[in-house]
Structure 1
């Protein structure tokens, strides 16, 4: 008998209800910011869901929001090489989610930034509560993470406007752009999950794999990782992050 999967990292809760797996980011005191440990726990959980041939993979966040994105709390103590690797591992996670045979559902709420917004964008179904807000400021410190994926989702011109101005957009704008599919409050999410699970169960994992491969751009993954590596590895990433964070305080 296969035992239920358990994350060894307390920053990620994994609930396996049959073929529906729920991954809950569990760092509410850090607004679910993506530490290196949390990213690795997410990668391991996605791999386990794949191996278990889960039908549906749900991403959600504990506390006030889904995710505040990259965890900058200790970046000064990391080498530039360490920081580059952390960004690469986030892109690795995003590509795993983009390519998984599982159906994916993001349930978002609260203030969400950067790589946290990328985690929402990569899911094939995206639902948010009315209080949700989104912002992707990575290009302000020279990081091209999620840019191509956002463009593919909402269109190049719309993505350009959002990213060039590092704009905050609310659920009304997100729904208009197609970034989210619907606005549903958390008390309605159980019905959303039930419907998503029913839809996911209509196809087996092999059929879902064919569907995802034939409705996506195979060159996107290589472009995304190349842009991320070039941008993150350009000399001075720590100084760029420091200047960005200082400007955000002023």
Structure 2
């Protein structure tokens, strides 16, 4: 495994993948993409015991985008090599979306262009309030290749998405939360603990339930409502046939309700 990616099992059911090219602000090159794709493949085989992946960056940034210095060293001049790089980036974002784990993007510093594209594929995004997030392809007369033009409008709406894509607007972590891109924004020193607490809470759930919930929401989002409702029912039946966790959860709730009613009755009797 490349030393450009640090892989740590930080809590039961939680694995952190840390982009580790701090001297390049974790810019994406071929080796880092290969390492991320391999790590996601390994995580898929570890499901359902591995329930959450945290994607983070070492040093001063989450990911400043594609490594333009590396690309200009010969990759751009080789049409085939450039296409291969773009296809790997596309494959990475699709692998993040398709992962059976919940993937949390923990963003601090910069998340720009290709870095934003990786972030957009995550299920949940938690940002440092002063993070700098944006798609800057247009500023260099480039176009996205990792899904930015498609995912950004879906996450924040067409009007705001076009504004960001056409102007290269940089949003803060606070604005990312305001616009619905991030589910939370916190002061940077709190980013790690906040993400770990969220991941640990998610890891208490049944892994198959998390996978099914993520899958039905993502696939249903692209369907008409009537089709999505049928997909929801089908997913529920399929999940129940593969896991006893649903029955156990219902039974546990029923026991808790019975106990609550019993305690309420005892309290009423004491007052009488």
Q: Same fold (TM over 0.5)?
A: yes
Q: Is the CA contact (8 Å cut-off) linking 1:23 and 1:58 kept in structure 2? A: yes
Contact 1:175 1:182 in 2 (8 A): yes
1:14 pairs, out of 7, 27, 36, with 7
| Offset at residue 174 of structure 1 (A) | 0.9
Who is 1:44 aligned against?
38
| Structure 1 residue 160 displacement after superposition | 0.9
Which whole-Å deviations, capped at 9, do the CAs of 1:196-247 have from their partners, x for residues lacking one? 222243132x323322222124797xxxxxxxxxxxxxxxxxxxxxxxxxxx
Counterpart for residue 72 of structure 1:
68
Contact 2:52 2:202 (8 Å CA) reproduced: no
Gaps of 5+ in 2: 223-272
The total of aligned residue pairs comes to 212
Kept in 2: contact 1:133–1:170 (CA 8 A) = yes
Query: Residue 98 of structure 1 aligns to a residue in which SS?
Result: helix
Q: Tell me by how many angstroms 1:110 deviates.
A: 0.8
> Of Structure 1 and Structure 2, which has the larger fraction of its residues in helix?
2
How far the C-alpha of 1:81 sits from its partner, in A, is: 1.4
Q: Gaps spanning 5+ residues in structure 1: where? A: 1-7, 221-250
Counterpart in the other structure of 1:143: 144
Instruction: Work out whether 1:27 is the aligned partner of 2:21.
Output: yes
TM-score (normalised: structure 1):
0.79
1: CA distance between counterparts of 2:59 and 2:211? 33
Q: Distance in 2 between matches of 1:51 and 1:186?
A: 33
Name the structure 2 match of 1:62.
58
- Identify if the C-alpha distance between structure 1 residues 218 and 9 changes in structure 2 by more than 3 Å, giving closer, same or farther: farther
- What SS does structure 1 have at the residue aligned with 2:196? helix
Shift of the alpha carbon at 1:151? 1.5
State the structure with more CA Rg. Answer: 2
- Give, in whole Å, the separation in 1 of the partners of 2:14 and 2:103: 10
Match of 1:225 in 2: none
| 8 Å Cα contact 1:33-1:67 kept in structure 2 | yes
CA distance in 1, matches of 2:122, 2:203: 13
Tell whether the 8 Å contact from 1:34 to 1:70 is kept in structure 2 after alignment. Answer: yes
Secondary structure of the corresponding residue to residue 215 of structure 1: helix
Q: 1:62 to 1:147 in 2, by over 3 A?
A: same
Q: Which residue is 2:253 aligned to?
A: none
Counterpart for residue 187 of structure 2: 185
